[in-house]
Amino acid sequence: MKPRKLDVSYSENQEQVSPVGTRYTTPMARIFSDESYIQYLLDVEAENVKVLSELYPKKVPKSAATRISRIADTKRVTTRLVRDIEENKTHHEMAAIIAAMSEKAGPSGKYIHFAMTSADAVETAKAIQIKNALSMLIKSASALRDTCIRAAVRWKDIPSITRTHGQHAVPASFGLPFAFFGYSLQKSIDRLARDMADYTEGKLSGVVGTYDVHKNEGIDGPTVEKKILSRLGVKRPEMSMQTPSRENIAYIISDLAVLCGRLAAIASYIKTLKRTEILELEEIQDHGSVGSSAMPHKSLRGNPFIEERCISIARVVRGHAASSLESVHTEDFRDLTASLSDRIAIPESFILSDYSCGLVKNLLERSAPAQDNIMRNLRSTKGITSSPLVMSKLVEKGMQRQRARELTTKAAALSINGGISYYDALLKNRQITRLLSREELAGLCDPASNLGMSKELIDEIARKYRKSRPKSLLS
């Protein structure tokens, strides 16, 4: 007995293995559902026949286009029917679609897939899918950008300490990092908008992009292709082979990886601010939530599960970006080495990116500054973070920069080791007090009143954002 061909295997009762689309999901998953994908393929096939019937009615009668448009719906050409034909008969996805449509279309079925190859339908459907997903993701990222900028404005009057390399740096507004997050998110939004305009390319030019059947049939292939793709809402490439340029997918998934990297950075910053010994940001805790199965006290503030999930998501999407970059290379005019990567990388990257945007937005909306702790941390280093201002003022008064650095460093060491304020340590150095009065030093050493241009920067970002939405904050 001849063994059954082993290829795809579909089952209604098959368990979902990946948590993407089930545990970690958003409405984005509907765009990438099997039913939606088949509907996109049906739309491409129907539009092809419809346009041909309009431009070349002697080649494709309008009655056939009407019939095919009527049955090009997953209520008629069901997912189950298509997958059953594929699994048990054709072992080829597009051949199964064509067979299922032809079964429903009757005699009109002979016009289905006219002058097309499988990649025409598949790549165009994929472009529609990606364009819809980009549109949804831009809305999610924009909502998060709005939340970041609102937080920045709301918290701009709170003085705080900044950190570089995990150490205290200089004072700034507590809202400043969130203004920067809004600005950087806008950069990703701009990139995604460009991706949607430039890289969502369909293709209906035949087996290797030469419109060979069109020309043989006396049909203006480029004109037909342009009209179909315009109606489907995707871009026509100036040239393609059996598929549009593979760089398109690589650019898009790479931009999703960049976005997820920024989301991970925001989540990591929030996680740092919630550390027990820092605790500058507190999250509203749900009644009955559990932080740890073994440590009851962690239910008070909880472990940073959400923040760490965002960091984990960024790692997964970066992996998909690497896979997409590898898939730019295919042999000859096309091969299928990129097929599995696309089926996994594209939906998972979009769903996880959208999911992560929602997580970070929710984190910010559920968080509030712990102002007593912020002030405690700001003053915990006794004013030594004012050293750049003191050094700069000494140079202004005539002292050599290297000498000013040495003296301000020595005063900082005295403050830390001697348990006195930086102001008092500075007063003990006559070289400093000869150039700077007590009043000048007191003003320089008050961290709460030396926030640089923090507030102005926040206001500027918010103002530009409001004026230019949804364009770049820099435009």
pLDDT number for residue 10: 61
Number of domains in the chain: 3
Full pLDDT tens readout for the chain, 475 residues: 767 666 666 656 556 778 887 888 999 999 999 999 999 999 999 999 999 999 999 999 999 999 999 999 999 999 999 999 999 999 999 999 999 999 999 999 999 999 999 999 999 999 999 999 999 999 999 999 999 999 999 999 999 999 999 999 999 999 999 999 999 999 999 999 999 999 999 999 999 999 999 999 999 999 999 999 999 999 999 999 888 999 999 999 999 999 999 999 999 999 999 999 999 999 877 666 666 666 776 666 778 899 999 999 999 999 999 999 999 998 888 888 888 889 999 999 999 999 999 999 999 999 999 999 999 999 999 999 999 999 999 999 999 999 999 999 999 999 999 999 999 999 999 999 999 999 999 999 998 889 999 999 999 999 988 765 544 443 3
Co-location of 258 and 305 in the same domain: yes
pLDDT number for residue 470: 47
The answer to whether residue 356 is domain-embedded is yes
Q: DSSP H helical segments within 26-72, as ranges?
A: 28-31, 34-55, 62-71
Burial letters 37-55, b for 16+ CB under 10 A, else e: bbbbbbbbbbbbbbbbbee
Q: DSSP H helical segments within 155-220, as ranges?
A: 176-198, 212-216
Of 457, 428, 444, 439, the closest CA to residue 392 belongs to 444
Residues 259 and 353 sit within 8 Å (Cβ to Cβ): yes
The answer to whether residue 17 is domain-embedded is no
Q: Retrieve residue 251's tokens.
A: 């650019």
The answer to whether residue 290 is domain-embedded is no
Co-location of 191 and 308 in the same domain: yes
Co-location of 167 and 204 in the same domain: yes
Measured from the Cβ of residue 345, the count of other Cβ atoms closer than 10 Å reads 25
Co-location of 333 and 407 in the same domain: no
**Category of 342 on φ-ψ map: left (φ > 0), alpha (ψ -120 to 50) or beta:** alpha
CA 376 to chain centre: 36
pLDDT number for residue 3: 73
Co-location of 230 and 149 in the same domain: yes
Q: With 0-12 CB in 10 A as exposed, 13-18 as middle and 19+ as buried, what is 388? A: middle
Q: Does the N-terminal peptide bond of residue 470 adopt cis geometry, omega within 30 degrees of 0?
A: yes
The answer to whether residue 14 is domain-embedded is no
pLDDT number for residue 472: 42
pLDDT number for residue 332: 81
Instruction: Decide the pairing of beta strands 167-173 and 159-164.
Output: antiparallel
Distance from C-alpha of 349 to C-alpha of 339, rounded to nearest angstrom: 15
Which DSSP letter does residue 90 get?
I
* Last residue within a domain, chosen from 326, 355, 377: 377
The answer to whether residue 267 is domain-embedded is yes
Q: Retrieve residue 442's tokens.
A: 């007191």
Domain at 225, CATH number: 1.20.200.10
Of 357, 39, 40, the closest CA to residue 200 belongs to 40
Co-location of 373 and 390 in the same domain: no
What lies within 8 Å, CB to CB, of 17 at 6+ separation is: none
Co-location of 192 and 74 in the same domain: no
Co-location of 142 and 81 in the same domain: no
The whole domain housing 224 covers 118-284+299-377
Residues 174 and 281 sit within 8 Å (Cβ to Cβ): no
What are the pLDDT digits (tens) for 337-396? 888 889 999 999 999 999 999 999 999 999 999 999 999 999 999 999 999 999 999 999
3-state secondary structure of 159: strand
pLDDT number for residue 286: 66
Co-location of 324 and 419 in the same domain: no
* Last residue within a domain, chosen from 69, 94, 111: 111
Distance from C-alpha of 249 to C-alpha of 325, rounded to nearest angstrom: 8
Q: Which residue has the tokens 């593979």?
A: 246
The rounded radius of gyration (Å) of the Cα atoms in the chain is: 30
pLDDT number for residue 475: 35
Q: At what angle do helices 339-365 and 305-326 cross, to 10 degrees?
A: 150
The answer to whether residue 462 is domain-embedded is no
pLDDT number for residue 337: 82
The answer to whether residue 93 is domain-embedded is yes
Co-location of 177 and 255 in the same domain: yes
Co-location of 246 and 345 in the same domain: yes
The answer to whether residue 20 is domain-embedded is no
* Last residue within a domain, chosen from 111, 128, 149: 111
3-state secondary structure of 244: coil
Distance from C-alpha of 117 to C-alpha of 114, rounded to nearest angstrom: 9
Instruction: Decide the pairing of beta strands 159-164 and 281-283.
Output: unpaired
Co-location of 93 and 146 in the same domain: no
Backbone angles phi, psi at 167, to 5 degrees: -115, 155
